[in-house]
Amino acid sequence: MKILLIGEYSRLHNSLKEGLQKLGNDVTILGFKDGFKDFQVDFPLEKKWDSGWLKKIKLIVLVVTGFDISSYLTYRQFRKKREHFKNFDVVQLINENSFFCNLKYEKKILEFIFAHNKKVFLLSSGDDYMYVNYNFEHPENPSIVQPYLAGKIADKNFSNVLKFRTKPFEKLHHYIYQNIQGVIATDVDYHLPLQNHPQYLGLIPSPMNLEKFPKREMEISDRIIIFHGINRESYFKKGNDFFEKALEIIKQKYGSKVEILTSENLPYNQFINLYDRAHILLDQLYGHDQGSNGLEGMTKGKAVFTNASELFEKQYKLTEKVAINGLPDVDYLVAELSSLIENPDEIKAIGKRARSFIEKEHDYIKTAQKYLDAWS
């Protein structure tokens, strides 16, 4: 089968591509490299006029004339190579705004995709119209909307979420759903708003290429090593403010018994190797299911603080912890970290269960087959 995967978030489409190729398919990825993470893409797109003084000029032009220079330049990049994006058996969009364009140019690109390929499917794997609106309508549901409603995130820093509540992106949502063959959720958080939707094909967990993460026994000697990776753009969305406060207390409480590793905005290949020595990984706090960093930490057999709510446990019929459910509560985080630091064998046990869970539910070849079945 000839397959075009459009967009890349946290290596999701790269891992899926590897699984699909193992099953004998011809797979191409088109899209951006997910910012500083710099993922591999067969046909890379580049965000133009998106920083420095060029961005300031772009915003002035946008306000005065309504013309979005970045969207137009992305469309031009696509148009120049558009002959490469025809005649695929299956095309999958990673998001309702895979090209990060405004309505006019996103729709122009999608019109070409819909017209020149057999089947197009959509992933719900990040912010989109239904997911964002669901969380504003259900503020009690753990999501990145909660720190925004608490006043921690300014509108300008939340614009990539808030745009899905505007009329143009509502129109884009309906246009996409009129032309796709179905939509797939990548975890429990995106599954919730899609339940009972007539085009919903179900939840397929994010693929993990286990060959890139050989199984290793965790060794713990004199110190417990905790890793905290920070992406400044999503600092409050991930709950890093709570993690940092908890770590300060842990430092004072345990001193030389713990070692804390911190990184900021590292490219993917550097990031995944940095926490190899760690026993505990701090990932994120708002949600039901793991993010990509959490999944990779679990694949490496770490004890991961991430989204692992009761809904997640129910979805996978779990009876034992495969991760620690993170909550935006400093006292709770300190208590959970303290319990692990004082019981190293439990860190090892959670790490082993985490790896087994990934092997069962997220293996990239099994997952790739589930996509082939859904697309059929």
CATH of the domain at 265: 3.40.50.2000
Cβ atoms of residues 143 and 132 within 8 Å: no
Using DSSP, state whether 50 is helix, strand or coil: coil
The first and second tokens of residue 186, run together, are 């990548």
Q: Is residue 370 part of a domain?
A: no
Give 336-359 pLDDT, tens digit per residue: 999 999 999 999 999 999 999 999
Residues 236, 170 share a domain: no
Residues 216, 194 share a domain: no
Residues 347, 233 share a domain: yes
Residues 234, 136 share a domain: no
Residues 173, 237 share a domain: no
Looking at every residue in the chain, the average pLDDT score rounds to: 93
Q: Which domain holds residue 286?
A: 211-361
Total tally of structural domains belonging to the chain: 2
Amino acid symbol at 97: N
The first and second tokens of residue 19, run together, are 């699984």
Chosen domain end from 171, 186, 203: 203
Q: Is the pLDDT of residue 273 over 80?
A: no
Q: Is 229 left (phi over 0), alpha (psi -120 to 50) or beta?
A: beta
Residues 248, 340 share a domain: yes
- CA–CA distance, 166 with 163 (Å, rounded to integer): 5
Q: How confident is the model at residue 185 (pLDDT cuts 50, 70, 90)?
A: very high
Q: How far is CA 210 from the centre of its chain?
A: 18
User: What is the model's pTM?
Assistant: 0.93
Give 137-184 pLDDT, tens digit per residue: 999 999 999 999 999 999 999 999 999 999 999 999 999 999 999 999
Residues 56-78 have a mean pLDDT of 85
Residues 251, 222 share a domain: yes
Residues 184, 265 share a domain: no
Residues 299, 172 share a domain: no
Element counts in the chain: helices (H) and strands (E): 16, 12
Q: Which helix (H) or strand (E) holds 124?
A: strand 119-124
Residues 197, 124 share a domain: yes
Handedness of CA 205, 207, 211, 215 (dihedral sign): negative
Chosen domain end from 168, 203, 238: 203
Cβ atoms of residues 275 and 213 within 8 Å: no
Q: Is residue 75 part of a domain?
A: yes
Instruction: Give me the pLDDT at residue 110, please.
Output: 98
Residues 188, 274 share a domain: no
Residues 235, 331 share a domain: yes
Least confident of 60-64, 186-190, 232-236: 60-64
Q: Is residue 369 part of a domain?
A: no
Q: Is residue 165 part of a domain?
A: yes
Q: Is residue 311 part of a domain?
A: yes
Chosen domain end from 203, 223, 239: 203
- CA–CA distance, 246 with 38 (Å, rounded to integer): 30
Instruction: Give me the pLDDT at residue 36, please.
Output: 56
Instruction: Give me the pLDDT at residue 92, please.
Output: 98
CATH of the domain at 178: 3.40.50
Q: Is residue 367 part of a domain?
A: no
The first and second tokens of residue 370, run together, are 């589930």
